[in-house]
């Protein structure tokens, strides 16, 4: 039984397997499209085996269990799929959260970048606004400069036109006056000639009558004179005492007349030497009748500080001060005067120093210009000789300042046609009076071109000083002094100028830098140009723009 039972149990199993295989075989499809009956035969055999088995129902139960198992597997697969789906959704949520976090961080970065971009745009906008304002200010300054240049051009044109009209008016007036004088003279001559022709007979009769009357009068006068002389001679001949008295009186009268003439001539020469100023002297302090009161205690002055109001380079100022002190104490020390030469570019202070030295030295001084000798012609050497003779008569000593010395002390004596005869004679007179040491005259020459002076003149110079263009420190001091004098200080009529707050020390320093190469005279003209621009504009305030415009114009036209 067990064997049977085992055999019976195996039959359903085999049948089920055969059925399953048959089912599986039935499901196979012949790719060639041919029908295979073997599968049906195996299925029928399996069903027959199952039906014959006692455990046929178990086969169907097994098949049902297999189906359930497949369903459970399918359910398990579904649940696994759901679990995978949930896991995928969780992962998707995590990824979404990460993406959101990344999005938030990206948004923050974007907002930060936006803020930075906005700050940059605002900075760029502010920079553009500043550049625009600067461009506006530059445009305004350029407009003011153009307006000033236009006004200056119009003013110069008007001045030139007015000057031309004035000259034309003077030429027309001179021509009209000349024509009128010629017409009047012609008319007068014609009238006189006509009247002379008409009255010639009358004049001839009048002349004959007048000459006859004059002849009678002269004859009668001669007769009376000789009659008187005859009677006087007879009286003197008869009385010897009267004759001696008359002869003595005539002799005394002759001596008195000739003595008076000689005395007048000598007195006029003395007065001319002591009182008359030579024509070449432009300025002098000499007065011969001024009493010398230097012996009084209160009349003794300290050595004047010549360099107090003169701005020069430090080493040059020190040398000039030493030389000035030696010059002023020459008479006290019993030493001869030294001759000086000042040379350099125009406007560097040569004439100012020489004039200041001459006026403050305590000695007599005389100032002349070499250009004044030319118009005198052949009288120039004689006048120069008179000048030196007049200077030698100074009791206190004299400082003779000759400006523009190169006008008549230049080279050219040896060449034919290089100098005129009068100029050579004037140079010879100068060399004659300066050939030896002098206790009476100190000569100061000023020139812009020392190289053209005659070598004999240079040999007579004891010390020469070159006046250079002012450096930065000197320019800054001069600018402050000139601006204070011409701009800040009220005029004689009480009109003052108000300085802008921007015209401070920094502006003065910048102005000193920008005026490199200018002389002291040009810096003074610059300050006067500031004053003229303010008064010409109708205001009372010197602004930064107006000052810069005037400075640019002066830099572009330094010689005006």
Q: Do 311 and 427 reside in the same domain of the chain?
A: yes
Question: What average pLDDT does this structure show over 489-499?
Answer: 80
Rounded CA separation 154/261 (Å): 67
SS (HEC) of 480-533: HHHHHHHHHCCCCCCCCCEECCCCCHHHHHHHHHHCCCCCHHHHHHHHHHHHHH
Q: Which of 444, 467, 490 is the last residue of a domain?
A: 467
Kindly state whether residue 229 falls inside one of the protein's structural domains.
Answer: no
Helix (H) or strand (E) holding 464: strand 463-467
Rounded CA separation 87/91 (Å): 6
Q: Is the pTM for the entire model greater than 0.75?
A: no
Residue 445, pLDDT score: 92
Kindly state whether residue 211 falls inside one of the protein's structural domains.
Answer: no
Kindly state whether residue 267 falls inside one of the protein's structural domains.
Answer: no
Reference 466, options 350, 299, 311, 339; nearest CA is 350
Question: What average pLDDT does this structure show over 288-295?
Answer: 39
38, pLDDT greater than 60: yes
Rounded CA separation 454/430 (Å): 11
What are the tokens at 174?
């001179």
Rounded CA separation 86/95 (Å): 14
Residue 168, pLDDT score: 87
Q: What is the CATH number of the domain that holds 491?
A: 1.10.8.60
Q: Do 436 and 292 reside in the same domain of the chain?
A: yes
The residue to which tokens 């397997």 are assigned: 17
Kindly state whether residue 319 falls inside one of the protein's structural domains.
Answer: yes
Q: Do 545 and 444 reside in the same domain of the chain?
A: no
Q: Could you give the 3-state DSSP secondary structure of residue 295?
A: coil
15, pLDDT greater than 70: no
Q: Do 425 and 500 reside in the same domain of the chain?
A: no
Identify the band that residue 17 occupies on the pLDDT scale cut at 50, 70 and 90.
Answer: low
Question: What average pLDDT does this structure show over 510-533?
Answer: 88
531, pLDDT greater than 80: yes
Domain that holds residue 550: 472-556
Identify the band that residue 291 occupies on the pLDDT scale cut at 50, 70 and 90.
Answer: very low
Q: Do 492 and 448 reside in the same domain of the chain?
A: no
Residue 304, pLDDT score: 53
Tell me what percent of the residues of the chain surpass a pLDDT of 70: 82
Kindly state whether residue 220 falls inside one of the protein's structural domains.
Answer: no
295, pLDDT greater than 70: no
Residue 13, pLDDT score: 52
Q: Do the Cβ atoms of 438 and 336 come closer than 8 Å?
A: yes
Q: Do 450 and 483 reside in the same domain of the chain?
A: no
How do residues 148-202 score in pLDDT, each as one tens digit?
A: 888 888 888 888 888 888 888 888 887 887 788 778 878 877 777 777 666 676 7
Rounded CA separation 472/518 (Å): 10
Q: Do 385 and 319 reside in the same domain of the chain?
A: yes
Residue 469 DSSP code: P
SS (HEC) of 437-459: CECCEEEEEEECCHHHECHHHHH
Q: Do 314 and 451 reside in the same domain of the chain?
A: yes
The least confident of 301-305, 329-333, 382-386, 539-543 is: 301-305
Rounded CA separation 475/354 (Å): 21
Kindly state whether residue 45 falls inside one of the protein's structural domains.
Answer: yes
Helix (H) or strand (E) holding 364: strand 364-369
Q: Do 451 and 414 reside in the same domain of the chain?
A: yes
Rounded CA separation 528/524 (Å): 6
Rounded CA separation 108/130 (Å): 32
Phi/psi of residue 492, nearest 5 degrees: -65, -25
Residue by residue, DSSP assigns 322-352 as HHHHHHHTHHHHT--B--EEEEESTTSSHHH
Q: Which of 467, 500, 520 is the last residue of a domain?
A: 467
Residue 289, pLDDT score: 40
Q: Could you give the 3-state DSSP secondary structure of residue 144?
A: helix
Kindly state whether residue 268 falls inside one of the protein's structural domains.
Answer: no
Residue 14, pLDDT score: 52
336, pLDDT greater than 70: yes
Reference 401, options 439, 446, 347, 438; nearest CA is 446
Q: Do the Cβ atoms of 15 and 53 come closer than 8 Å?
A: yes
Q: Do 405 and 519 reside in the same domain of the chain?
A: no
Q: Which of 434, 467, 500 is the last residue of a domain?
A: 467
Helix (H) or strand (E) holding 19: helix 2-27
Reference 537, options 52, 102, 155, 274; nearest CA is 155
What are the tokens at 1?
């039984």
Q: What is the CATH number of the domain that holds 456?
A: 3.40.50.300
Residue 23, pLDDT score: 47
Kindly state whether residue 236 falls inside one of the protein's structural domains.
Answer: no
Rounded CA separation 363/381 (Å): 26
How do residues 223-276 score in pLDDT, each as one tens digit?
A: 888 787 777 777 766 777 766 777 777 788 887 877 787 777 666 555 555 556
Strands 283-284 and 441-447: unpaired
- Cβ neighbours of residue 466 under 8 Å, at least 6 residues apart? 316, 343, 344
Q: Do 443 and 538 reside in the same domain of the chain?
A: no
What are the tokens at 118?
């906005």
524, pLDDT greater than 50: yes
Question: What average pLDDT does this structure show over 518-540?
Answer: 85
Rounded CA separation 76/82 (Å): 10
- Per the prediction, the chain carries an average pLDDT of 79
The angle formed by the CA atoms of residues 398, 404 and 408, to the nearest 5 degrees, is 95
Rounded CA separation 271/255 (Å): 24
Total number of domains constituting the chain: 3
Residue 267, pLDDT score: 66
Q: Do 445 and 379 reside in the same domain of the chain?
A: yes
């Amino acid at each position: 039984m067990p064997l049977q039972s085992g055999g019976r149990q195996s039959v359903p199993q085999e049948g089920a397997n055969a059925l399953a295989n048959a089912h599986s075989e039935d499901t196979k499809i012949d790719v060639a499209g041919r029908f295979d009956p073997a599968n049906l035969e195996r299925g029928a055999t399996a069903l027959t085996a199952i039906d014959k088995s006692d455990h046929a129902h178990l086969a169907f139960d097994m098949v049902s269990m297999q189906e359930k198992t497949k369903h459970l597997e399918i359910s398990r697969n579904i649940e696994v799929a759901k679990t995978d789906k949930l896991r995928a959704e969780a992962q998707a949520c995590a990824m979404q959260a990460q993406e959101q976090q990344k999005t938030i961080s990206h948004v923050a970065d974007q907002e930060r970048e936006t803020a930075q971009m906005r700050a940059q745009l605002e900075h760029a906008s502010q920079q553009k606004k500043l550049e625009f304002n600067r461009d506006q200010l530059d445009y305004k300054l350029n407009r003011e400069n153009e307006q000033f240049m236009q006004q200056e051009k119009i003013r110069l044109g008007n001045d030139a036109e007015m000057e031309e009209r004035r000259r034309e008016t003077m030429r027309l007036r001179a021509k009209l006056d000349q024509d009128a004088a010629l017409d009047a003279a012609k008319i007068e001559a014609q009238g006189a000639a006509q009247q002379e022709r008409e009255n010639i007979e009358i004049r001839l009769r009048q002349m004959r009558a007048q000459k006859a009357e004059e002849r009678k009068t002269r004859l009668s006068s001669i007769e009376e004179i000789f009659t008187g002389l005859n009677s006087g001679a007879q009286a003197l001949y008869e009385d010897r005492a009267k004759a001696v008295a008359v002869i003595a009186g005539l002799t005394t009268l002759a001596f008195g007349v000739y003595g008076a003439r000689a005395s007048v001539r000598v007195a006029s020469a003395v007065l001319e030497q002591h009182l008359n100023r030579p024509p070449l002297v432009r300025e002098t302090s000499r007065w011969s009748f001024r009493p010398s009161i230097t012996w009084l205690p209160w009349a003794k002055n300290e050595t004047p500080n010549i360099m107090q109001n003169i701005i020069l380079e430090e080493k040059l100022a020190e040398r000039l001060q030493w030389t000035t002190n030696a010059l002023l104490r020459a008479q006290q020390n019993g030493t001869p005067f030294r001759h000086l030469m000042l040379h350099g570019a125009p406007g560097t202070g040569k004439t100012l120093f020489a004039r200041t030295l001459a006026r403050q030295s305590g000695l007599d001084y005389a100032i002349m210009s070499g250009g004044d000798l030319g118009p005198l012609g052949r009288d120039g050497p004689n006048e120069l000789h008179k000048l030196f003779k007049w200077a030698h008569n100074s009791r206190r000593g004299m400082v003779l300042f000759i400006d523009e010395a190169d006008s008549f002390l230049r080279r050219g004596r040896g060449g034919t046609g290089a100098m005129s005869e009068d100029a050579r004679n004037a140079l010879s007179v100068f060399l004659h009076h300066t050939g030896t040491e002098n206790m009476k005259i100190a000569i100061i020459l000023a020139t812009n071109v020392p190289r053209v002076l005659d070598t004999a003149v240079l040999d007579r110079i004891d010390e020469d000083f070159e006046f250079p263009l002012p450096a930065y420190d000197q320019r800054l001091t001069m600018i402050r002094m000139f601006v204070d004098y011409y701009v800040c200080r009220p005029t004689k009529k009480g009109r003052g100028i108000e300085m802008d707050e921007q015209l401070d020390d920094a502006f003065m320093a910048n102005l000193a830098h920008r005026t490199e190469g200018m002389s002291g005279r040009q810096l003074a003209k610059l300050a006067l140009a500031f004053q003229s621009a303010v008064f010409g504009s109708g205001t009372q305030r010197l602004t930064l723009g107006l000052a810069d415009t005037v400075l640019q114009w002066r830099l572009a036209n330094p010689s005006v």
